[in-house]
Chain A
Amino acid sequence: MFMWIIKRDLLLAMRRQSDVLTTLFFFIIVVSLFPLSVGPEMNMLRTMAPGVVWVAALLASMLSLGRMFANDYVDGTLEQMLLSPQSLSLLVLGKAFAHWLVTGVPLVLMAPVLGIQYDLPADALFVLTAALLLGTPVLSLIGAIGAALTLGLRGGGVLVSLLVLPLYIPVLIFGAGAVEANMAGMDFDAHLSLIGAFLLASIVLAPWAAAASLRVSLE
């Protein structure tokens, strides 16, 4: 069933490719706005790059959270999923994974290109991509809780940002920190290990909390 839900959500994303591209372009535009607002001075851009890319990734991932459950809620398919004899947590994990494939992976792939715009050295680009690869699934998983809690509420989109962004802070700190450490000539393994630990913890806990939230929201 885990595979079915991933297959289903990917199929739906394929039929609505514009949604996927919107998120990606949002990410690109936000990152490109910074040089325009602070000036093209390369040294400054280089120090800012990890933070800018990560904040943009946070926002892009958050903006696409609405799609994770809201459409299924409106057409009644979510209701059917809640009545599935299989574990709802597993199903949520599948949906979060599909969300990551559709919104997270394109960001990870695009990040090195944007990093070049900011004149990041090659190994910093590598660290940035690796950190995003580990960190973006955490964003989808934690985001699933927020998306589930705000289902069907007025102003749900803004509300979800209030709930979810503070919880993203640890990933942001260590994600951007890894690249900064690398650029300062320090070890970045610890940062990446910690993001890995966040990922494991959120794989275990977040689907469970999101499943409970869905039951509350659909009651």
Chain B
Amino acid sequence: MAINWFKYSSPASFYSLAGKMIPVFVFVSVVLLVAGLYVGFFVAPTDFQQGEAYRIIFIHVPAAWMSMFLYVVMAFWAGIGLAFNTRLSSMLATAIAPTGAMFTFIALWTGALWGKPMWGTWWVWDARLTSELILFFLYIGFMSLQAAIDDPRRADKAGAIIALVGVINIPIIYFSVQWWNTLHQGASVSINQAPAMATTMLTGMLIMVLASWMYSIAVILKRTRVIILERESHTAWVAELQKKGAIL
């Protein structure tokens, strides 16, 4: 069956397609979330070193992964929007940013909660935590820049440039922070030396990662739909939707 993909690159058809897809992703993400949390909290064994406290990784690790993936995905779509002048990809990038920032925030927060029993303090200037903090700043910068610009096309393009500059810089920042960390901390405790994980722990974590993906897709699609409505409010097809009472 041949699908005309280009058809869905127009905001109007994407709007209706996304509307049909969102419930599917919501359902899958809820199922995975329940399964993942069950495995994480009831099936996975207690860690012999860290006790029960380690269980926070079932949230922390997926959140940290998502925060990094989403930045790259955001920069990718923003870049496509800049290069090919496709409005929909820029809207996707704008829709991704808050979700990415939220995951970064969760990763930081759960990292602190994990740090308290592990290191005896809420915050350590560990390389990963620090990089995550800087990533959070990058998300905030992207969102504030877009929020400050009234003209949506300029906001798209300016956001794309700063996202791409950020993506080039992330490896450099990551590497610098790593260097800085080894220089200053020497041989302190690090997550790097965590003992090999039991299979069930790994399974639980992977399920949680998948659940986060599904959640992100659902939320991003929903947010893209809202952005489309906002930007296209003057067009005929939105007016028609409004007449039908499909949107409030």
Q: Does B169 contact A (CB under 8 A)?
A: yes
Query: How far apart are the CA atoms of A198 and B171 in the complex, in Å?
Result: 13
Query: How far apart are the CA atoms of A170 and B179 in the complex, in Å?
Result: 10
Least CB separation from B175: chain A residue: A170
Among B58-66, B138-146, B204-212, the one that faces the other chain is: B138-146
If the complex has contacts A153-B149, A170-B176, A217-B158, are A145 and B144 also in contact, measured as CB distance less than 8 A? Answer: no
Tally the A-B contacts, defined by beta carbons under 8 Å. Answer: 73
Number of interface residues of A (CB under 8 A): 28
Q: Does A56 contact B (CB under 8 A)?
A: no
Q: Is the CB of B173 within 8 A of A155?
A: no
If the complex has contacts A173-B179, A177-B180, are A166 and B173 also in contact, measured as CB distance less than 8 A? Answer: yes
Q: Is the CB of B154 within 8 A of A216?
A: yes
Q: Is the CB of A162 within 8 A of B137?
A: yes
Q: Does A44 contact B (CB under 8 A)?
A: no
Q: Is the CB of B177 within 8 A of A173?
A: yes
Q: Which of A154, A170, A209, A219 touches B165 (beta carbons < 8 Å)?
A: A209
If the complex has contacts A149-B158, A149-B162, A213-B161, are A166 and B137 also in contact, measured as CB distance less than 8 A? Answer: yes
Query: Quick one: which of A143-178 are within 8 Å of B by CB?
Result: 145, 149-150, 153-156, 159, 162-163, 165-167, 169-170, 173-174, 177
Q: Which residues of A contact B172 (CB under 8 A)?
A: 170, 198
Q: Is the CB of A209 within 8 A of B140?
A: no
Least CB separation from A165: chain B residue: B137
A157 to chain B minimum Cβ distance, whole angstroms, is: 11
B211 to chain A minimum Cβ distance, whole angstroms, is: 30
Q: Does A109 contact B (CB under 8 A)?
A: no
Q: Does B222 contact A (CB under 8 A)?
A: no
Query: How far apart are the CA atoms of A169 and B137 in the complex, in Å?
Result: 11
Q: Is the CB of B162 within 8 A of A163?
A: yes
Q: Does B189 contact A (CB under 8 A)?
A: no
Least CB separation from B137: chain A residue: A166
Query: Quick one: which of B151-197 are within 8 Å of A by CB?
Result: 153-154, 157-158, 161-162, 164-166, 168-169, 172-173, 175-177, 179-180, 183
Q: Does B236 contact A (CB under 8 A)?
A: no
Query: How far apart are the CA atoms of A11 and B2 in the complex, in Å?
Result: 64
Q: Is the CB of B173 within 8 A of A159?
A: no
Query: How far apart are the CA atoms of A216 and B152 in the complex, in Å?
Result: 12
If the complex has contacts A162-B140, A213-B158, are A169 and B173 also in contact, measured as CB distance less than 8 A? Answer: yes
Q: Which residues of A contact B158 (CB under 8 A)?
A: 149, 213, 216-217
Q: Does A205 contact B (CB under 8 A)?
A: yes
Q: Which residues of B contact A173 (CB under 8 A)?
A: 176-177, 179-180
Q: Is the CB of A170 within 8 A of B141?
A: no
Query: How far apart are the CA atoms of A213 and B165 in the complex, in Å?
Result: 11
Q: Is the CB of B134 within 8 A of A149?
A: no
Q: Which residues of A contact B141 (CB under 8 A)?
A: 162-163, 166
Query: How far apart are the CA atoms of A153 and B175 in the complex, in Å?
Result: 33
B75 to chain A minimum Cβ distance, whole angstroms, is: 13
Q: Is the CB of B148 within 8 A of A167?
A: no
Q: Which residues of B contact A154 (CB under 8 A)?
A: 148
Given contacts A159-B144, A163-B162, A169-B177, 9 further A-B contacts (CB under 8 A): A145-B165, A156-B148, A162-B145, A170-B169, A173-B176, A173-B179, A177-B179, A216-B157, A219-B153
